[in-house]
């Protein structure tokens, strides 16, 4: 690791409390931001990165992903096309889950982390599901992530859709990994795949270990109908009654919710992760993000294992709600930038370490050089460029904890072609197994 380096001559999008943007330099010492300087007469260091013509941002944070979803890219599945989200689970995701091995989990983590890195994501929160690869699997995922140099908040997605005991084995794997690594979170798949007892125990365990708790909720209508039919409650009503919702809870989706549920989310200080591209892919509906925003609910942005480019997800969040409400005012550049930086950091209790470029914080820094600049790139136009004008291919440099892990768009810690070769050899076998898998329908 470079003990001291300077990133100079760029437009710094600080995301500090005043949301300042200016031309200047960053000084990084021992993995932390030591100073943020206006103008071109910044500090000197042995290692200097000239960001001229570029934008300097905090490392982006993906608040919800499934790394193993990358293995579906280009897969030819021998299935009847799903007609709704429930059939997506039954015919695609649950077949995929059951075929996953620890080695499959490793290669998916390596390749997804590589793609996240190349698009400027320095931290992500992942939930893995593989009922035939539970014990010790988070170590394999962690190895793949570590080889790229970015940060991962990892978890196993506990579920009882096949049997009750597997849910507790998943919880046990999370506890083992958290205690052994000092990081991670507790994850439960969804309220329609677990019983009350596991939901309570998982939330209590997260509290005892002082780690985040994450779950999918109200993504498709099945979740809502399941809870109404079996418990006489809407999804967030049930979760609230079980003590699951709190400021440590990070809930993905919240698409099919009503006003009473929004009040519950707000009063419990529950964090919501919006996954716009995934919601469109699965045709589950549009989350009431503008209402959540007005209420002050902490909203962050995820990809749900679909598109790993941060900028594409920000752009989708920026545009989706304008179209849905027929109102171009409902989302701003700042709204989506906050969802991918400071809000996501807050959701995982990392806001004192990550999410903005301020002295004392961990030095997670991204330099973006728009390859095409048809209009002047200035502090005043930088937000518009970030949301409307760039994508992952424009990411030039990524620094994580003070260490350069991407330089000139090229990963430092591993060779892309070797990684592609390793993935190709392994994924062919995984696809062969997946092509023989049969649809399974489980009802809890």
The enclosing domain of 13 has a CATH number of 2.30.40.10
329/245 same-domain check: yes
The enclosing domain of 70 has a CATH number of 3.20.20.140
115/42 same-domain check: no
For the cut 60, the answer to whether the pLDDT of residue 260 exceeds it is: yes
Chosen domain end from 347, 374, 395: 347
Q: Is residue 308 very low, low, confident or very high in pLDDT (cuts 50, 70, 90)?
A: very high
43/121 same-domain check: no
Identify which has the larger pLDDT, 49 or 45: 49
For the cut 90, the answer to whether the pLDDT of residue 437 exceeds it is: no
Q: Is residue 37 part of a domain?
A: yes
For position 74, what pLDDT does the model report?
Answer: 84
For position 41, what pLDDT does the model report?
Answer: 72
For the cut 70, the answer to whether the pLDDT of residue 88 exceeds it is: yes
200/181 same-domain check: yes
26/119 same-domain check: no
State how far the Cα of 256 lies from the Cα of 259, in Å rounded to an integer: 10
Mean pLDDT of 357-377: 96
Give me the number of domains the chain comprises. Answer: 2
40/169 same-domain check: no
66/53 same-domain check: no
Mean pLDDT of 215-220: 97
Given its phi and psi angles, is residue 283 left (phi above 0), alpha (psi -120 to 50 degrees) or beta? left
Q: Is residue 407 part of a domain?
A: yes
170/191 same-domain check: yes
Q: Is residue 184 part of a domain?
A: yes
Range of the domain at 211: 60-347
Q: Is residue 435 part of a domain?
A: no
* Tokens of residue 284, six digits: 């589950």
Dump pLDDT digits (tens) for 51-62.
999 999 999 999
325/176 same-domain check: yes
304/398 same-domain check: no
159/110 same-domain check: yes
For position 78, what pLDDT does the model report?
Answer: 79
380/279 same-domain check: no
Q: Is residue 355 part of a domain?
A: no
For the cut 80, the answer to whether the pLDDT of residue 363 exceeds it is: yes
Mean residue pLDDT across the chain:
95
């Amino acid at each position: 690791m470079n003990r001291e380096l300077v990133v100079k001559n760029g437009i710094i999008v600080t995301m500090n409390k005043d949301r300042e943007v200016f031309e200047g330099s960053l000084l990084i010492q021992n993995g932390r931001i030591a100073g943020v300087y206006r103008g071109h007469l910044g500090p000197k260091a042995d290692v200097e990165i000239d960001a001229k013509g570029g934008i300097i941002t905090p490392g982006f944070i993906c608040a919800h992903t499934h790394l193993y979803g990358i293995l579906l890219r280009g897969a030819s599945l021998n299935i009847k096309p799903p007609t709704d989200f429930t059939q997506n689970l039954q015919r695609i995701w649950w077949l995929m889950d059951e075929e996953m091995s620890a080695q499959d989990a490793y290669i998916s983590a390596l390749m997804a982390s590589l793609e996240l890195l190349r698009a400027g994501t320095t931290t992500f929160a992942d939930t893995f599901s593989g009922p035939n690869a539970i014990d010790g699997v988070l170590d394999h995922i962690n190895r793949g992530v570590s080889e790229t140099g970015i940060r991962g908040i990892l978890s196993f997605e506990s579920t009882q859709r096949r049997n009750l005991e597997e849910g507790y084995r998943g919880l046990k794997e999370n506890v083992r990994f958290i205690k052994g690594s000092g990081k991670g979170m507790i994850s439960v798949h969804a309220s329609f795949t677990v019983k009350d007892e596991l939901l309570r125990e998982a939330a209590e365990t997260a509290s005892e270990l002082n780690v985040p708790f994450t779950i999918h909720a109200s993504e498709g209508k099945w979740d809502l109908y399941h809870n109404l039919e079996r418990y006489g409650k809407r999804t967030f009503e049930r979760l609230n009654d079980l003590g699951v919702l709190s400021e440590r809870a990070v809930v993905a989706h919240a698409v099919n919710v009503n006003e009473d549920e929004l009040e519950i989310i707000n009063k419990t200080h529950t964090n919501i992760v919006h996954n716009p591209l995934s919601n469109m892919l699965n045709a589950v509906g549009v989350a009431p993000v503008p209402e959540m925003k007005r209420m002050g609910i902490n909203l962050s942005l995820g990809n749900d294992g679909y598109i790993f480019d941060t900028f594409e997800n920000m752009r989708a969040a920026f545009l989706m709600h304008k179209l849905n409400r027929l109102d171009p005012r409902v989302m701003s550049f700042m709204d989506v930038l906050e969802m991918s930086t400071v809000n996501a950091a807050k959701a995982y209790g990392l806001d004192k370490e990550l999410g903005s470029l301020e002295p004392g914080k961990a030095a997670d820094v991204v330099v973006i050089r728009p390859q095409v600049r048809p209009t002047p790139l200035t502090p005043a136009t930088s937000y518009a460029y970030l949301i409307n004008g760039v994508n992952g291919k424009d990411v030039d440099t990524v620094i994580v904890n003070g260490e350069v892990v991407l330089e000139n768009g090229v990963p430092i810690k591993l060779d892309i072609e070797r990684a592609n070769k390793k993935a190709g050899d392994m994924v062919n076998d995984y696809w062969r197994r997946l092509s023989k898998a049969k649809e399974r329908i489980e009802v809890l």
